[in-house]
């Protein structure tokens, strides 16, 4: 099978590599987003997928857009792909692109569809407290992740699972499921339509969602910390400066204090949360400094019980 692959971040690379390594599959081209400025020097840097394609000697293009881009469409048509495989590409594929592959255009989507259609399924599953998530191999169509599902694989989410944990586990899970499913698709496997109930949308994350609202339950705050740790990090403020929360835990105790109030300093920063719950910050990063244990931070911070953490 001739395959054209479309993807951008590091999450997509295991799927690309699995296709390159698979018997009977030839990756004839790769599409990725244009180079972006990154790092301290703000140098133009290729995406993880573009770099992987170059390392593998695969022809790669990086158009700014796909819609009404005749040159990019002609490139795809010239490749004569049997399959177009899309993994976290970051652009909407127009109908003209979906019609090119001889067999199908398929997407590796990091959720159990129809739950969490859209841009941020991994984070939304964790923030919502889902007890499981997974990946789906779905047939692409013009709707937002509405196509039928060829195959799915599940992954448990525990009270200790972090965002990086899910990214690290779902990428190889999707790669394995992809190479196992493509031969069946080529042989005529038909996708199963998505259920009409249970549809949720994983909207793109906003920076303000990383700011901690201490009036929420400690369990909800813990999910937020685990989702964004270590970067970009959930944030609060103390004494007018940002404080990034890297790790912590929900304590089995209650309080009658105002949300955000420091109620203990012995085992970390113990903070009063909504519904009488308590969250203990164990690892943090003060503004302008490196991450450190809360105990180390407290040795140099003029904080006491009764002080409050807030949001600017």
* pLDDT tens-digit readout, 228-245: 999 999 999 998 999 999
**CA-based nearest residue to 142, from 197, 83, 202, 98:** 98
Long-range contacts of 155-158 (CB under 8 A, 24+ apart): 156/131, 156/132, 157/125, 157/126, 157/130, 157/131, 157/132, 157/133
At residue 37 the predicted structure's pLDDT band, cuts being 50, 70 and 90, is: confident
251 is in an annotated binding site: no
113 is in an annotated binding site: yes
Q: What integer pLDDT is reported at residue 312 of this predicted model?
A: 57
Contact status, residue 134 vs residue 109, Cβ threshold 8 Å: no
Tokens encoding 290: 């490196």
Which domains occur in the chain, in start order? 2-202 (3.40.50.170), 208-300 (3.10.25.10)
114 is in an annotated binding site: yes
232 is in an annotated binding site: no
**CA-based nearest residue to 227, from 290, 284, 164:** 164
* pLDDT tens-digit readout, 248-274: 999 999 999 999 999 999 889 999 999
Query: Which residues face 43 on adjacent strands?
Result: 38
pTM > 0.75: yes or no: yes
């Amino acid at each position: 099978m001739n395959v054209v692959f479309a993807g951008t971040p590091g999450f997509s690379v295991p799927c690309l590599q699995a296709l390159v390594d698979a018997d009977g599959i030839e990756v004839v081209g790769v599409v990725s987003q244009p180079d972006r400025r990154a790092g301290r020097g703000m140098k133009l840097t290729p995406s993880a997928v573009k770099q992987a394609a170059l390392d593998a000697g695969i022809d790669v293009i990086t158009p700014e857009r796909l819609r009404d881009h005749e040159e990019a469409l002609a490139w795809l048509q010239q490749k004569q792909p049997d399959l177009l495989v899309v993994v976290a590409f970051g652009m909407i594929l127009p109908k003209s692109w979906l019609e090119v592959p001889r067999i199908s255009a398929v997407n590796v989507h990091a959720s159990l569809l129809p739950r969490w259609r859209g841009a941020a399924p991994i984070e939304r599953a964790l923030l919502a407290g889902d007890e499981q998530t997974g990946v789906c191999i779905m047939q692409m169509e013009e709707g937002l992740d509405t196509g039928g599902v060829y195959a799915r694989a599940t992954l448990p989410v525990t009270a200790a699972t972090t965002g990086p944990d899910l990214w690290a586990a779902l990428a190889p899970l999707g790669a394995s499921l992809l190479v196992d499913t493509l031969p069946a698709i080529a042989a005529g496997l038909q996708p199963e339509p998505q259920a009409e109930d249970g549809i949720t949308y994983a909207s793109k994350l906003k920076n303000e969602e990383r700011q901690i609202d201490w009036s929420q339950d400690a369990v909800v705050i813990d999910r937020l910390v685990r989702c964004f740790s270590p970067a970009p990090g959930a944030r609060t403020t103390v004494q007018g400066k940002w404080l990034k929360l890297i790790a912590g835990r929900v304590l089995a105790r209650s309080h009658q204090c105002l949300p955000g109030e420091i109620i203990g300093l012995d085992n970390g920063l113990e903070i009063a949360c909504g519904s009488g719950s308590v969250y203990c910050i164990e690892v943090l990063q003060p503004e302008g400094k490196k991450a450190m244990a809360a105990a180390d931070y407290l040795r140099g911070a003029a904080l006491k019980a009764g002080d409050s953490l807030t949001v600017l």
